[in-house]
Amino acid sequence: MQLSCLKRIPRQFLHVQSLIAWTSRSSMDLKVLVSSLNDFASLSLAESWDNVGLLVEPSPPHTVRTLFLTNDLTEEVMEEALQKKADLILSYHPPIFQPLKHITWKTWKERLVIRALENRIGIYSPHTAYDAAPHGVNNWLAKGLGACTSVPLRPSEASSYPTSGSYRIEFSAHSAENLDTVLSSLREMSEVFLITTHPVRVDDEEQIQVRLNCTQQALPQVVAFLSQKSPLYQKTEILSLQKPLLKDTGMGRLCTLKEPVSICVLIERMKSYLKLPHIRLALGVGKSLESQVKVIALCAGSGASVLKGTEGDLYFTGEMSHHDVLDAVAKGITVILCEHSNTERGFLLELQQVLAEYLENKIDIVVSERDRDPLQVA
């Protein structure tokens, strides 16, 4: 009897221990985690055509203990996420891109949404926000080239400047007479913003300077209105308001190697970095495998639209159309293609480490083992 009791006590003790361990695991509220992910790489950096952010949200409150990283969320990967008890899936590519008109069991993307909601799993996608971020996918891809300096091919603009309008108009009034009436008329115009006045001294004469912002559509109306007030309103200036560029942020990278290397050496570097047995190669006109390369334009994924027109020795991306490759080759530019997701997936291992530190190890972060490029060599 005593032996039987002694056998049962450790089992109960172990059960309690495991329960305590499970309940004491670090976790984050979904909304807090999503806010942190948005701060890590602002969604404002994403392309306008993209679909980024929280795509599937379980009913609140929702706690995240395990964040599951994948490049593509397929049904096979979803099964893995369920087995690993994921609470939130970060899928680099958005599994919901085109609007869904219904949620049924007929298509694989609809089934993903159903299974996510049934199992209380959120789905978050950063996609092109991670492409543009200075610590994102393209920056990671450039590291495989060797020692180099890089700048974005298409820099990102600050999202919050200017606050309104795309043009600034400045003019000086010699007299305050009727100025209130004029300003009142300007304020009544649609798409005219931020009208300010302040005294200035021009050529030893006291004047009042007026500044306003307006859209491109409103610009002709404002200019026509002010032209009627001449000579009372003189020295009108029209300034185009351009958003400042963000340092080291944007699509693609133009990389300059510190030391030029041959094409064949560069091929081996990238195969090793991406862990690929093969790549696809189109030599530029007049080039050979021994030709030297110094300036490389790269873009993860499908990079033709970003790379097009860029001067360089070599284009490096996942995929390009047949005719885009022909255009590059005709200009003497060599093209290396590695398939779309092969130029992105390796970033997840780096992201796992960076996010763990960024989130102060509050949650478990795991990388999919079943996620892979759909194209294989037969």
pLDDT at res. 173: 80
Closest by CA position to 293, among listed 257, 342, 318: 257
Q: Is 154 exposed, middle or buried (0-12, 13-18, 19+ CB in 10 A)?
A: middle
Q: Which residues of the chain have pLDDT under 50?
A: 1-24
Distance, CA of 131 to CA of 138 (rounded, Å): 6
Alpha-carbon radius of gyration of the chain: 29
Going by their DSSP bridges, the two strands 334-337 and 66-70 should be labelled as unpaired
177 is written with which tokens? 């007479």
121 is written with which tokens? 């799993």
Instruction: Give strand pairing partners of 124.
Output: 54, 90
Tell me the C-alpha to C-alpha distance, in Å, between residue 371 and each of 123, 125, 150. 16, 15, 29
Tell me the C-alpha to C-alpha distance, in Å, between residue 10 and each of 2, 17, 20, 22, 23. 13, 10, 15, 18, 20
pLDDT at res. 164: 65
DSSP assignment, residue 372? Answer: -
162 is written with which tokens? 């200017």
Task: Report the alpha-carbon angle 223-227-231, nearest 5.
Answer: 140
Q: DSSP readout, 205-241?
A: EEEEEEEEEE-TTTHHHHHHHHHTTTTTEEEEEEEE-
Instruction: Give strand pairing partners of 356.
Output: none
The dihedral sign for the CA sequence 47, 91, 113, 39: negative
**Strand intervals (E) in 252-367:** 253-262, 280-282, 292-302, 314-319, 334-337, 364-367
How does 37-63 read in b/e, with b if 16+ C-beta sit within 10 Å?
bbebbbbebbeeebbbbbbbbbeeebb
Tell me the C-alpha to C-alpha distance, in Å, between residue 128 and each of 63, 74, 122. 26, 19, 19
Distance, CA of 169 to CA of 327 (rounded, Å): 43
Amino acid in position 228? Q
Sort residue 127 into left (φ over 0), alpha (ψ -120 to 50) or beta: left
pLDDT at res. 176: 64
Instruction: Give strand pairing partners of 53.
Output: 125
Distance, CA of 161 to CA of 32 (rounded, Å): 26
Tell me the C-alpha to C-alpha distance, in Å, between residue 91 and each of 50, 97, 193, 330. 14, 12, 40, 37
Edge-to-edge strand ranges of the sheet holding 334-337: 148-151, 253-262, 292-302, 314-319, 334-337, 280-282
Going by their DSSP bridges, the two strands 334-337 and 314-319 should be labelled as parallel
Question: What domains sit in the chain, N to C, each tagged with a CATH number?
Answer: 11-129+348-367 (3.40.1390.30), 133-157+248-337 (3.40.1390.30), 167-240 (3.30.70.120)
Closest by CA position to 199, among listed 177, 227, 176, 180: 176
Distance, CA of 326 to CA of 302 (rounded, Å): 16
pLDDT at res. 40: 97
Coil, helix or strand at residue 275: coil
pLDDT at res. 203: 74
pLDDT at res. 207: 84
